[in-house]
Structure formats: C-alpha cells, structure tokens
Structure 1
Amino acid sequence: MTSPQPPGPPQPRAAAGNGVNEETLHLPTIAAATAPPRTAPSPYPVRPAFRPPMPPAAEAGPTGPAPARPAARPRREGMGFRPDIQGLRAIAVTLVLLSHAGFGFAAGGYVGVDVFFVLSGFLITSLLVKEVYDTGNISIAGFYARRARRILPAASAVTTATIIGAWLWFPITRLEAVLQDAFTVIVYVVNYRFIAQETEYLNADQMPSPFQQFWSLAVEEQFYVVWPLLLLGLLLLVKRRPDRLIPAATAFAAGILVVSLVLSVYVTQQSQPVAYYGAHTRAWELAAGALLAIALPTLKRTPKYLAWVLGIVGLAAIIASGVFYTDATPFPGYTALVPVTGTALVIIAGSSAGGNPVSSLLGTGPFQFVGKISYSLYLWHWPILILVPLAVGADQSLVLNVMLLIGAVAVAQFSYQYIEEPFRKAKLMARPVPGIGAGVLCSMIGLAVLLAFTTVYSKVPEEQDPVDLGAIEQAVDDAHIEQQLRDALTVTEAPAQLTPALADVTKDEPVIYADGCHLGTDEVELPDDCVYGDTESATAVYLFGDSHAAQWFPALESLAVENGWKLVPRTKSACTPVSVAVDNSSLDREYTECADWREKVFEELAAAPPALIVIAGSDAASVVDASEGGGLGRWRNGWTETLESMPDSTKVAALADTPWSFDLSAADCVSLHPLAECNDDYGIKFTERREVGIEVQQGIGANVIDTSKWFCVDEQCPVVVGDLLVYRDTHHMATPYAASLADVLEAALPQL
C-alpha cells in the first residue's frame, strides 16, 4: 500500500563512510534519519521540490533603494553513521584488552587509547562545527548535557560497582588508597593522581588500582570542558561567521598540536608517567582529530586510489605499534605519532566518497558489535580483571584472564543495553537542564556510595599513634634471631596485633623521609641540618646509599643516641652507591641526577672524613647498557671506584642487600592469604651482583656484613617474626623490624 501523501524532495544519498555520529569515541553511533524507501510508485504526480522565490531586485523608491535581504547562512553537510569509526573503536578496545590480559604479542596494546583520543577530537569537533553552521552558535549547556547523559551513567555504574568490589575483596593495605582513587574518578582528575603516585618511588610495586582505566576518560573530560569554550571564544572573535571560524579554528588546533607534541616529547624524556597521564601531553592527539573534523569537506574529495593506500597504511600503523611496542618503548612522545597518524589516515580514507577495503572491513559485523559496546567494555574489563581473582582466591593467568574478558563482553553488552541506551534515548533528558541533572545525579550516587564505605561501613581503622621504636624488643644476637626465624616458620596465622598494623604499613617510613633528609629522584643538592644522634659529637657516622640504605636508619639512629655518634644520612631514592650509570624507570631515562648527587657525597666525605661510613644499596639497579654480561663488569668496576673514593682514614662497613619478594608484598599477602603461604614469597635476588660486590668489598678491606642471616633460615624468609611485620613492601624492611636489629648490627660494625 502506498502513502497517501505526495513524495517530498528527493534526499541525497550519503556515500558510505562519509558521516560522523552524534556521540564521542566511546559512544554507540546513531544512523542519520533518512526517508524510508518507497516500495511502489505513488498514484500522485511528482511535485517539484519547493524553492523559495528569488528576492526582488532592489528598486529606487520614493525614500531610496529597497533594503537587501540578509545573506543566507552558509551550510555544512550533515554527517550520518560512520561504520569505519565504529570499527576503529573495536580495534582500539581490542588492543587494550589483549594487552591487559597479558598476551605478549600485544604488549603495545596501550596505543588503543591513542586511537580513542584521535576519534574523540574528530567526532566532538565535527558536531561543534556543524552546530555553528546550523545555528551560528555553540550551546555549551546543550553540549555538556549530551556528554553528561551519555558518559556519566555507565561510568558511575562502573565506579559504584568497583567501590563495592574493592571494599569486599581488596587488601586492607591498599583499600584507603583505592577509595581515594574513586573520589578522583568521580571528579575526573584521577589521571593527575596517578601521576603523583607513579612518580613516587615507594609506590612502584603496589597492586594496580581497579580504577586505572579511568585515567583516559579523565583526559577526555578535561578536553570536553575546555575545547567547546575555546571554539565559542573563537566564534565570538570572528563575529559568529562560520566561514571565518574555520581558518581560526584550524590555526588554533594546529598550535595546540605543535605545542602539546613538543611537550609530550620533552616530558616523556624527563618523566614518562607525567607524559603518559597528563592532559597537556595528550592534547595534541585530540587536536589531531579536531583538525581532521575541521577539514572534513576537503577530506571527502580524497581520490579513491589514495583512500585505498591511506586506509591500508593507517590500519597497518595502528596494528604494528600495538604489536611491536612494549613497556620499554618511550611513550607517548614521538612514538605516539605512529598510532595517531595511522588513525588519522584511516579516518581520511573513510571520508572519501569512493570507498576502500579497510573501511569495508571495519564495517563488518564483528567490528560493529565490539565497537558498539566499546565504551562499556573499556570501563568494565579492568575491574573485572583485578577484582574477580581476589574474590575467588585465584592467581592471575592468561587462561583466567581470557575467561574474564569473555565475561566482560557479556557485562558490557548488558551495560550498553540497559544503562547507556535508556539514558541516551530518554526524551526528557534531551533538554540541557534534565540532561546535566541526570549526569550529576549519577555522579552523586557514586559519591554517596563512596562516602558510605569510607564512613559508615569503613574497614580502615582509625590512624594509630606512631610506633615507639624505642620500645621494640631487641634481638640479642645472631643465634637468637635464627631461633626467632625458625619459630616464625611454624606459625600459620598472623597475630591479631601486628606492628606496624597492616592498614598503616604504607605510612611506615624512616623519619628521614618526613624530614626531607632522604632525597627524591629529582633532588641533587645535599640537605642541610640533617644530623641525628649527638649533633655535637666528634664521632661522625655517615649512612650512604639508596632506599635500601635508608631502611637501616632506625637501627643506626638508635645506636647513635646510645653511643653518642653524630649520624648523617646521605640517601637518595633509587640511587645506588655503586659508581655506575643507571636508568630510572619513573623518569624513563638515564638517572643523571644520581651520578651528580653521588659525586657531591664523595666531595663532602673527602672534605671532612667521618669515623665510619655505612654503605648499603639495592642490587637491582638498572645499569645502563648492561646487556651481554656487561652489567657484571660494570658492577665490579663501580664498586671498586666507590670504595676507592672513601677517605683513607675512614672505616667502611658494607651491608649486603636484603630479601626481595617474588610476588606480593608481605602486607598484601598477609591480608589475602594464610601466613604459611607468604613465607616462601621472599628470598635473596640478584645473587651474581651480590657475590661480585662482596668480593670487591673484601678485597679492598671493607667490613662486609651479610644481612641475610637476620632474615632467612634454611632458604626461607618469614614475613612475620613474633609480632613484627618484617617488610613494609616488596623489598624494604618495616621500621620496627629494622629497629629490632640495632644490637646485632652494632656487633657487626667495626669498633669506633
């Protein structure tokens, strides 16, 4: 049966891949509304399309020429569904999932986030520019309402579920920090919290946060806040002329791209975590997408043969970076150019009217399905990978992770269908105020749940007074410690009152950290007024090394007070006392600050030789160019150079490195598992370096102290001895246990 209405003007058919959907990179696409095709000819004659009458020519009247009609507003072609964009979402999220699951061939899957960033800049800018052409304005309230009702419901659902899961299953040692992560997720600054955490040396071995994936959403939210306001400002500057906005926006976006890219390259060399999580070092990727959106009419004229080439090269660049990049790749920086450029090329190819095989591939069913649920899948997969193994008491493995990702797909489909879609399609929330209100309400629900689990149902005990290290029972001698260690191996459950308490273990640091006497990675100058014990004593003792030296400070301070020594700590995070060039993982470059600081310490010791220098350090230092066995040779030469730099009149004691964990930290393990399962987690690592160091120390005449007898017996190293927790993390002593070793340390030191 045919329609009783005469047909309207014929609608132009959009070429495949020419449109952009309404939503952001994370959002499912919406096909542009088109007139339904007719199934039978209409019995009514076809009427020509309506055309407005031409304005009359200006004629002179009695009062002058007739006023001219205002010029028609320039138009910009509307954009519909982009199957290739949907498929790119699928590529991006799949790369991320494969990387997080532990597939070695996708170690660089983190580049999927870069694909998302380019897509986000492209899609959002396309919509904003189209709005300018249609209305001559940008509705900031309308824009925020669309983003709020589309992004916040699913994000808040994941946040709420993750808060509950962390409260139920996360170790008490990390619960407070994770709930703080949740708050920064809700206010969309979690990326900068992760910068602060990952640039802190002592946080390097902590369990990953179940909110880790939200950092990229925070970057995008920061972009969403700023970019529409900038475009609106430019629009006002050009007096609401869309044709003038295009060159102005192009220049502005290009400026952002150049400045942010330069910052990204520079900051990556200085501190990779800052560059990785920072919005200022990621803005160029979003700006690249914005430039593509501004130039979209030109991109549509891309020749078919060129679209073929660009699509294939672009997709290859994305996949190649995901396969060949690793955790060791300096990223983002200049290496991010590969996935960003690849994404741009695929977008250009998909914009061509001629079509291309890559866009056709991305438009197939599997890519469309994964792309449709990509936002929910990205949000849900990470807490599922982190929390479910804790809930069932299983060790993470590739097989388990694959099973969990399959489950994550099902959860994401449910989230898309029953959370994303209802909020997106609700007519009531299409207006600005209800839309923004719905998003704010979702965030408030997440905040209310967070407050409930941090106040009413808090599992974190109230902060206790600092441990009185002077009251810690001392180990009498080596035989006494050996018996304590053997007794500890027979204990199956941790005592109810551990020292330090599990909830406080992350705050358990020697006092020189709070006093500013232990230097961070970027500090070089020797601190003033860092003197302990008898500050006027003529007997000076120096503690020299990295954080594995600083961990001995509680024992040495006790001895300094008892014996009337002047104790001067010279310690710096991750800076070995061995005279070798080392890399720093948090800086992702050679640790030149370490070499500079070490030379200053040598100069200070030479200028005023102390009575005793106690040297200690980690055997895990990342020696520059240590491949093919060269590391041991450099390690030997470095120890020789360090010891020969000591003043001739000074006695030197070298403390061998302490045990390391092979898995969880002691506190996390005790929180999650029976005590007996944790005692096999610690042992002596890097034995070759240890032996080389001891050999050099003995050859030069230093007093060598093998500390392993104070931690391990019969090749087992208990994590709890009496009521003392031995380690505060995976490779540092807890301060109470260090204080308990003061007497045995004094017996091993040379007499002063």
Structure 2
Amino acid sequence: MRVRIVGLVTAQADRAPDAPSMGRPRPRHPQTENSDMTSPQPPRPQTRAATGGGVNEETLHLPSTTPGAASSSAAAAQTQRTAPSPYPVRPPFRAPAPPPPTSPAPPGIRTTGAHPRPAPAPAPAPVRPPQRWEGVGFRPDIQGLRAVAVALVVLSHIGLPFAAGGYVGVDVFFVVSGFLITSLLVKEAFDTGKISLAGFYARRARRILPAATVVTIATVVGAWLWFPVTRLEDVMQDAFTVIVYVVNYRFIAEQTEYLNADQMPSPFQQYWSLAVEEQFYVVWPLLLIGLLLLIKRDLRKLVGAAAAACAGIFALSFVLSVMITEVSQPAAYYAAHTRAWELAAGALLALSLPTLKKTPKGLAWVLGIAGLAAIIASGVLYSDTTPFPGYTALLPVLGTMMVIAAGTGAGANPVTSLLSTGPFQFLGKISYSLYLWHWPILILIPLAVGAEPSILLGTVLVACAVAVSQLTYQYVEEPLRNARPLKTNNVWGLVTGVACSLMGIAMVLTMTVGFGKVPEDEEPVDLDAVEEVEDGSEIEAKLRDAVAATTAPEELSPSLASVGEDKPVIYDDGCHLEFEQTEWPEDCVYGDPNGAQTMVLVGDSHAAQWFPAFEAIASDNGWKLVTRTKSSCTPVSVRVDNTNLGREYTECEEAREDVFDEIDQMQPAMVILVSYESIDLSGVEPDETTGPWLDGWTETIERVQGSAERVVAIADTPWADGPVPDCVASHEDSLQECNIDQAEGVRLPERRAEAMELQRGLGVTVVDPLEWFCYEEVCPAVVDGMLVFRDGHHVSTPYMRSLAGLLAAELPL
C-alpha cells in the first residue's frame, strides 16, 4: 500500500507545473499572472523537486491504511523538499478506529466492509449577507428643490404680489434637511455600527457656520453703520441670539408684544429657520443614538424603531402646530416644537428609501408633477393672512415629500429632469448663501443709499445678492467644508465651529461696547419735570414752530436711543394686559388711592397712552384712577380679529365683559372710553365696518351709562406709515420727512366723525385731540424738543403729560 501511495505522489509531481493540485490551486509567481514583459527579472524555472515538495499527503488529504504508513510517507516527502512548502504544516491524517464487530455502527458512520468511513459533514448554515444601507449620494432633483425653495422666499421678500406665500420655501428646506440628515445618520449606523456625535457636529459646523458667520459679521457692521439708533440695541441682541441658535424664540417674544408690531424688521430675520434646524441637529442624533442603545445595536431593528419615533414626532408636533396656530400664530411660526413635524416628514422618507426605490415609473411621474404643483400653488395662493403653519403647511410639506419620492424611484420623470437642469442646479448650489445674504441686503442697502424700498430696487439687490452668494460659496463654503485637515480630524471641525461663534460674539461686543452708540447710563424721562401746555393758543404756537422745523434738536425727550423703553408705568406694573391675558391685578389704582371719586380708564393701548395725562389729572383733583387697558382690545362691543394671533380675539371679548361687570360693582363717577379705529372686525369686510362699529359703540355706552355717572369718549390720535423715531434718527437734518400728513394719518375719518356724533347724541362727553397734534393738516414728529410718538401710532409719555392741562379742561370733573 505504501508503494501505491508513493507512486501516486510521484505521478502528481510529474504533472505540468501549472496543473492545479487537488483541493486548492497552487500559488503562482506574481509575475506569471501578468502578460507584461517588462519585468526586470524573468520567472525562475521550477525544478521537479521543488514541485514535488509542495505536494504531499497533507495537501492531497488522502487517508493511509495505518498511521505508521502515513508517518513514513510524510517523512519521505519531507526529505525530498528543496524549498519550503507554501502551505501550512498540518498533522498527519489519522483514521478513526473501527467499532467493535459485535456492536452496530454508531449513527452517522457508514461502513464499507471492515473499514468505516466518516459520514459527510452537515451542510454549513447559510451565511447572512452583511447589513448595509444605501445612501442617497448626490441628488440633482434635491439640489433643484433647494432652488425652488430659495426662489419662493426671495420673490416673496422682494414684494411680488403673486409670491406672497413664498414663505413656504422654508417648509421645503425643512423637509429636505430632515431627509438628508437622517439618510446620513442611518447610513453611518449601518456602516460603522454607531453614530459619532463628534463627527456629525464637526460636519455640520463645517457646512453651516462659516458662511453664517461671514453674513452675521457683515450684517452687524452694516447695522451699526446704517440702522437707526432707535433699533440698534435690539438688532445687536438679535445677532447674539443668532450666534447661540435661539433667535427664533426671541422673535416669538418680540412679535407677540403689541408695541413691537410696527417696528422695522430685523436684518437677522432669516436666521430663525436656521435656528430651528440647528435645534433639530442637537436633538435628532441623540435620539437615534438612544434608539441604538435601546435595541442593543441590532441594526435590523433600527429602521423600524426610528420610523416609529418619527411617526410619533410627526403626529405630536403637527397637533401642536395646529393648536398653537389658532392661539398664537407667531409662536407657531417660529417655534421648533411646532415645526419638528416637517423635519420628521423628511426623516420618514429617508427611512423608507428601500421601498421608495421600487416606485414605478408611472407613479413617479404622478408624484413629481403633483408635488411640484402643490409647492408652487401654496407659494402663489397663500398670503400674510393665511393661518400658518398649522394644517395649511401640509400642502407644501406633502408636495416636497412627493417630489423627493419621485426622484428616488427608478427611471426619470419630467419634474426630476426639470430640477436637474443648469439654472436649477446653479441656484440650488448657492441656495444656502443666497438665503443668508438676500435679506440683510434688502434691508440695509436702502438705508445706506437713502432709497425707498420697491420691487425694482429689490430685484436689483437680489441680483447683487446672487453674485455675493456665488463668491461666498466658492471662497467660504467649499474651501472650509472640503479642507483636508478639517475633514480628517473631527476635533478641527469642532474647533472651526467654536471659532466661528467666537468671532461673531467678538464682533457684536466690539460694536456694542467698544463703539456703542447707545448710552448705558441714560436716565428715564422725569415726567414731573415736563411743563404742561396751558391753553389752545400755546399748543397752536408750538405746533406751528414744529411744522416749520427742518432739523431735530440735539437733545430729545425721550432720546432716540431710549425711546423703545418709553412706556406708561402701567406696562411695568402689569396693569396693562397683553394679548393672552384676561385678568388684571388688584392693585391697579393710581392718582389719589384714597380719593372719594373714581375714574376708570377703559380701552386698548391707545387708551393706555393717555395714562400719563390722566394720572396727573387724578392726582391734582384727588380722584382715584383705575386702569383697565389691554392691547388691541377695543371697548366697543364688537368681535375683532387679531393679526398678531392670526385668529379671532376671544380674550378681548372675555376681558371686556369682565370690565363691564366690574364697573357695575364699582359705580364710578367717570368712565373714559378710548379706542383705536379698528378695521379687523370678525366676519366683516373692511369697507363694511361702519354699521357694526356704530352699533357696538351704542351697546357699550348704554351698558356703561347704567353704572357710571359720566362717560367720556376720546377719539383716536394720528397714525404714521412707520415708526416715527426711526424716521427721525435717519433724517435728523431733514426732519420734515417724518411729519405726518393729517389726511393720511387719520384712520377712517368718515366713520370716526359718525362715531363722535353718535356719542354726543347719547350724552357722552367727546374729546377730539387732533388739534393738539396737527397744525394746518400737518402732524409734526417733534414738538418743543419732545418726540410726539414713541413708535408709529403711540404717543410718547412726555408729550402726553404735557397735554394734561388741555385734557383736564375738556373733562366733566
């Protein structure tokens, strides 16, 4: 038997060198794998001994009849080797001992005569394919969606009437961000088994913060140079909240305050959406990491768990969006918790990628066309009066989802092809920088050149913004996003983000502390030192001189820098209610608290502006003054809408009835009713308000007359087109630019006159203050060194205090 085996080995050794051995291929010289003949050394011929040495029982896996024979054969082969074997040395094969003759063969053992053979090994279990997740890569259609989104926003900000709803472009951005960010995070989890927070934040910092910081610094400098000093401090506070990513909640606080309603827009207004996305970037990766830990890193469960989380976020956030929109539209518009559902919608798409890739071509056509149509329709049909976000945001959000789904499916469709064309790709490429740049350019450049905003000027400025955005993309975005040191080391990416934030903060501090224009130690106006006008001839002379003045005095009361803080004391005391408040504190008593007679001041903020005069009158005459004023809440018994809340002002109706009930209990000597000329009556067209308004006055007066001895009604004061102090700050040497044309400043003059006639007919004492504000059809902005208005339609406290004597002469004291 030994001879037969050796002979077989010799026969194998005699085969051609390239013949494969049994069980595995023989290694070949690397150069023999290549047909290139430029190798410096030709292949060395293999000797027969060398070949034979590489083949033995261990490589052939042939069994021997006895262990001894196998050992002898192995030893013989070992002595013939002239080169080491390329295979690892294995122990010689040992056949299993045969079972006893009297016992049956154990299970799994086959016998052939007297020699047992081992049964073949069971088939190996199928190997599970490695888990992986297909990323999205570069999507031209999504780049084109960015172009659509930024175009809608920019056209809306220019003022084009057909793009009034262009704010929906932000909703498109939110869905796209949720889709892309979730795709990247899930792919990272499948590729590495984890999500690197440092890596994620480093990538986001490189992508977002360099361009945002450049625009922030430029805007801070531009605002310091050209923005009115009346708004400069607020703008710097906006800049700081931009840098710390909470500017959206600052805007909620500002826009829900009635006195800020007519202020100049902030040049940082566009950053609110970036703040929402940054807040999403903080929370969403942490949530995914938490899910990974919860499912014990089982990636097969990650997609399902993440989809369930997205669905929950979508449902909860959408419900909050609808509910809060009905209560406070600014809060719903700017808040992250009312916008999270839009980002979650994009995330759900990302988690559905394997399914979306199977979308049939015909369905993709329908989805793409319908989705793009929904986005454009919402931008064209929506306006400033549309309750938004709420349920109306579903249209642009679902439209964006359909376009993304259409582009994910196999095959092209018309919308994907359209979005992939050159113009859309160019605009999409610079969309981030353009979104950042266009707004401060539209706000600051007209101030710098002294031009009035217009559609034509806005179009020219947007073209300039496109050029600046291209430069920012080319020299800021791309270099820092793709810089090799920043990409290869997360630490440097994070350092980049921190450095950007520190540079922004440093610029804000430099412009506010180092080169501040607002005095830090300015004292508030001393109302007791204000001289009261004695009679009509004196106020007429003061107004005549004011109309003729062309230059603002060096010292104004209140100063331009502090006019934003010039409010009656009832605001600080909590005795003037804001929109959502309905109950007054118990201690809203002024004048002589122990006075025998009581006067009650009732109305909106135009009633509250008269407080400095009534406080002086009550103190001088020993009357108790009780204030019941509430922002935008007319004492006229009508239902009104509130533009700040974006709905019917039910809090006003509730508060008004409570005041009437309280007057019934107090039985005051005098009730003073003051209202602005409201045009926002619920369910009434603006040109049909006269009838309901007069009926409301009748109902209110009759209700109050049953409990009060005397009723006084004060007519409305003039309105300006914009904040008067801002105008004065920008036209200190051309002050007449800020004066108000009486014909334009008096709202609804015919209805106003009819209301006064009605009030007199009902026995009410009527005070028309126009002659205290206007001379020869002109209402000056500055009178006797005092700013007449603290904003666009509220009278300043010093000027109102100066009218106390004139007002007292009109009252039935």
Whether TM-score is above 0.5 comes out as yes
Shift of residue 67, structure 1, vs aligned partner: 11
Deviations 1:472-497 (A, max 9, x none): 01111112111110011111111111
Instruction: Give CA deviations for 1:46-104 in whole Å, capped at 9, x if unaligned.
Output: xxxxxxxxxxxxx999xx99999995531122432100000000000000000000000
Matches within 5 A, 1:29-428: 73-428=130-485
Aligned to 2:703: 645
Measure, in 1, the Cα distance between the counterparts of 2:482 and 2:705.
77
More relative contact order, 1 or 2 (CA 8 Å, 6+ apart): 1
The one-letter code matched in structure 2 to 1:675 is L
Q: 1:732 aligns with which of 772, 775, 794?
A: 794
Three-state SS of the structure 1 residue aligned to 2:704 is coil
| Cα drift, residue 522 of structure 1 | 1.0
**Worse-matched range after superposition: 313-322 or 483-492:** 483-492
The yes-or-no answer on 1:658 pairing with 2:720 is no
- What's the secondary structure of 1:743's corresponding residue? helix
- Alpha carbons of 1:640 and 1:536: their partners in 2 closer, same or farther (altered >3 Å)? same
Distance 1:474 1:352, change over 3 A: same
Relative to structure 1, the CA distance from residue 628 to residue 267 in structure 2 (aligned partners, 3 Å threshold; closer, same or farther) is: closer
Which residue identity is paired with 2:644?
A: S
Indicate conservation of the 8 Å contact 2:679/2:686, yes or no: no
C-alpha deviation, 1:395, in angstroms: 0.5
Indicate whether 1:459 and 2:517 are aligned: yes
| Structure 1 residue 385 displacement after superposition | 0.2
Shift of 1:170: 0.3
Report the 3-state secondary structure (helix = DSSP H, G, I; strand = E; otherwise coil) of the residue aligned with 2:584. coil
Deviations 1:362-418 (A, max 9, x none): 000000000000000000000000000001111101100000000000000000000
Does the 8 A contact of 2:741 with 2:777 survive in 1? Answer: no
How far apart are the structure 1 equivalents of 2:238 and 2:695? 44
Equivalents in 2 of 1:394, 1:680: separation in Å? Answer: 19
Equivalent-residue separation in structure 2 for 1:702 and 1:710 (angstroms): 21
CA distance in 2, matches of 1:372, 1:453: 33
Q: 1:489 aligns with which of 547, 550, 575?
A: 547
Q: Give the direction of change, closer, same or farther, for the CA distance of 1:43–1:372 in structure 2 (3 Å limit).
A: farther
Equivalent pair of 1:625/1:631 in contact (CA under 8 Å)? no
Q: Which residues in structure 2 correspond to 1:406-555 (within 5 Å)?
A: 406-430=463-487, 431-555=489-613
Per-residue CA shift, 1:664-708, capped at 9, x if unaligned? 321101000121111136621221331221121011010111110
SS at match of 2:778: coil
3-state SS of paired residue (2:740):
coil
Q: Match of 1:622, SS?
A: coil
**Distance in 1 separating the partners of 2:682 and 2:649:** 9
How far the C-alpha of 1:452 sits from its partner, in A, is 0.5
| Maintained 8 Å contact 2:318/2:338 | yes
- The alignment partner of 2:552 has SS state of coil
Counterparts in 2 of 1:553 and 1:78: CA distance versus 1, 3 Å: closer
- What CA distance in whole angstroms lies between the structure 1 residues aligned with 2:546 and 2:329? 41
Q: Provide the rounded CA distance (Å) in 1 between the counterparts of 2:617 and 2:136.
A: 76
Q: Identify the residue that residue 577 of structure 1 maps to in structure 2.
A: 635
Matched-pair contact (CA < 8 Å) for 1:725–1:737: yes
CA–CA separation in structure 1 for the residues paired with 2:208 and 2:579: 38
Secondary structure, aligned partner of 1:646: helix
- Residues of 1 paired with 2:754 and 2:555: CA distance? 40
| 1:117–1:285 CA contact under 8 A, matched in 2 | yes
1:253-306 alpha-carbon deviations (Å, 9 max, x no partner): 000000000000000000000000000000000000000000011100000000
**Contact between 1:542 and 1:570, CA under 8 Å: does it hold in 2?**
yes
1:560 aligns with 618
Which deviations, in whole Å up to 9, do the C-alpha atoms of 1:5-56 show, x marking residues without a partner?
A: xxxxxxxxxxxxxxxxxxxxxxxxxxxxxxxxxxxxx998xxxxxxxxxxxx
Maintained 8 Å contact 1:526/1:597: no
Deviation for aligned residue 1:655: 0.6
Equivalent position amino acid for 1:471 in 2: A
Q: Which moves more between the two structures, 177-186 or 622-631?
A: 622-631
So what's the TM-score if we normalise by structure 1? Answer: 0.90
Q: Aligned partners of 1:207, 1:43: CA distance in 2, in Å? A: 77
- For the 8 Å contact 2:616–2:801, the answer to whether it is kept is yes
Q: Provide the rounded CA distance (Å) in 1 between the counterparts of 2:402 and 2:126.
A: 43
Partner residue, 2:682: 624
Q: Which of 723, 734, 741 is 2:785 aligned to? A: 723
Which of 662, 681, 688 is the equivalent residue of 1:604?
662
1:593 is the counterpart of 2:651:
yes
Tell whether 2:807 aligns with 1:748: no
**Identity between Structure 1 and Structure 2 (%):** 63
Code of the aligned partner of 2:757? E
Task: Give me the whole-angstrom Cα distance separating, in 2, the residues matched to 1:136 and 1:689.
Answer: 72
Matches of 2:127 and 2:409 in 1, distance apart?
34
- Against the structure 1 CA distance between its residues 288 and 527, is the aligned structure 2 distance closer, same or farther, given a 3 Å change threshold? same
Match for 1:713 among 758, 770, 775? 775
Q: Which residue is 2:12 aligned to?
A: none
In structure 2, how many angstroms separate the alpha carbons of the residues matched to 1:335 and 1:121? 19
Give, in whole Å, the separation in 2 of the partners of 1:560 and 1:113.
52
Segments of 5+ residues of structure 2 without an aligned counterpart are 1-33, 37-107, 110-117
Please give the TM-score of this superposition, normalised by the length of structure 2.
0.84
- What is the SS of the residue equivalent to 2:428? helix
Unaligned runs of 5+ in 1: 1-41, 45-58
Cα gap change, 1:548 to 1:680, in 2 (>3 Å)? closer
Aligned-residue CA RMSD in angstroms? 1.9
Q: Is the 8 A contact 2:551 2:735 kept in 1?
A: yes
Matched letter for residue 729 of structure 2:
S
Shift in Å at residue 132 of structure 1?
1.1
Deviations 1:188-224 (A, max 9, x none): 0000000000000110000000000000000000000
Measured in 1, the distance between the counterparts of 2:582 and 2:135 equals 58
Cα distance in 1, alignment partners of residues 122 and 410 from structure 2 = 46
- The change in CA–CA distance for 1:140 and 1:681 in structure 2 (over 3 A counts) is farther
Higher-Rg structure is 2
Counterpart position of 2:746 = 684
Deviation at 1:620, TM superposition (A): 2.6
Please tell me whether the aligned partners of residues 609 and 647 of structure 1 are also in contact (alpha carbons under 8 angstroms).
no
Q: Distance in 2 between matches of 1:343 and 1:204?
A: 32
Preserved contact between residue 606 and residue 647 of structure 1 (Cα < 8 Å): no
SS of 1:645's equivalent in the other structure is: helix
Counting matched residue pairs gives: 694
* Structure 2 residue identity aligned to 1:342: G
Q: Which runs of 4+ in 1 moved over 6 A?
A: 64-70
Q: Could you tell me how far 1:628 is from its partner in structure 2?
A: 7.0
Residue 691 of structure 2 corresponds to 633
Residue 626 (structure 1) shift: 1.8
